Structure 1
């Protein structure tokens, strides 16, 4: 069965690369480039997993994840946070992310995490 994955990042190149990598693994991939649109997208799509950049304009990934975790409907969606920040892992942990990937990362590492979290 295909997994629905939402990827939220303000970098168009990262969105394109992740879309190609994840679609090759037979997944439905939805791209969101504006952080303020992610909650509405999650409501509409009801994803199995979310890939979320930490540092974005308008709303940070941390703000978004805290909002998701406060929602009974969305609190259990696995979230992988991504960042090039040296504090990224600490931020992801504090917000309740299920996993963290430091940018740049190997696509194989991402795919392993998606598979692991998508089976839960």
Structure 2
């Protein structure tokens, strides 16, 4: 079976490192990006099964980046999990058009379970 590929957009290196370690332990391949302005190129290059998107990512921000991706006929089907420390994360995720959201700070088992759920949705699509 092919390993699922996760692409994480976050400008916080510690979060990227933590998520990478945890998700690799769970059997995923992980790619990371500290900027979002080149989201379409990045996604085309990596071809991920699931995307984790931070709200405050430079240069265009998580909402705009997610909207760009979701409006793409080629990549709009890829599940996006929005993550942020904002209190109104559910509204941000909804505005962005994300498929799910995760509040920061998050529990690592919660991270794995939401990624796994999104990845499983993908394989049926």
Counterparts of 1:20 and 1:44, CA distance in 2: 21
Q: Indicate whether 1:29 and 2:60 are aligned.
A: no
Give 1:1-120 correspondences, 5 Å limit.
1-120=2-121
Task: State the 1:22 CA deviation.
Answer: 0.5
Where do 5+ consecutive residues of structure 1 fail to align?
none
Report if aligned partners of 1:10, 1:35 keep a CA contact under 8 Å in 2: no
Counterparts of 2:58 and 2:114, CA distance in 1: 26
Deviations 1:13-32 (A, max 9, x none): 00000000000011110010
Task: State the 1:88 CA deviation.
Answer: 1.8
- The CA RMSD measured in Å over matched residues stands at 0.9
Report if aligned partners of 1:9, 1:33 keep a CA contact under 8 Å in 2: yes
Counterparts of 1:78 and 1:68, CA distance in 2: 10
- Count of equivalent residues: 120
Structure 1 stretch displaced more, 13-22 or 93-102: 93-102
Counterparts of 1:92 and 1:115, CA distance in 2: 18
Counterparts of 2:37 and 2:71, CA distance in 1: 16
Counterparts of 1:94 and 1:34, CA distance in 2: 20
Task: State the 1:68 CA deviation.
Answer: 0.6
Give the TM-score taking structure 2 as reference length. 0.92
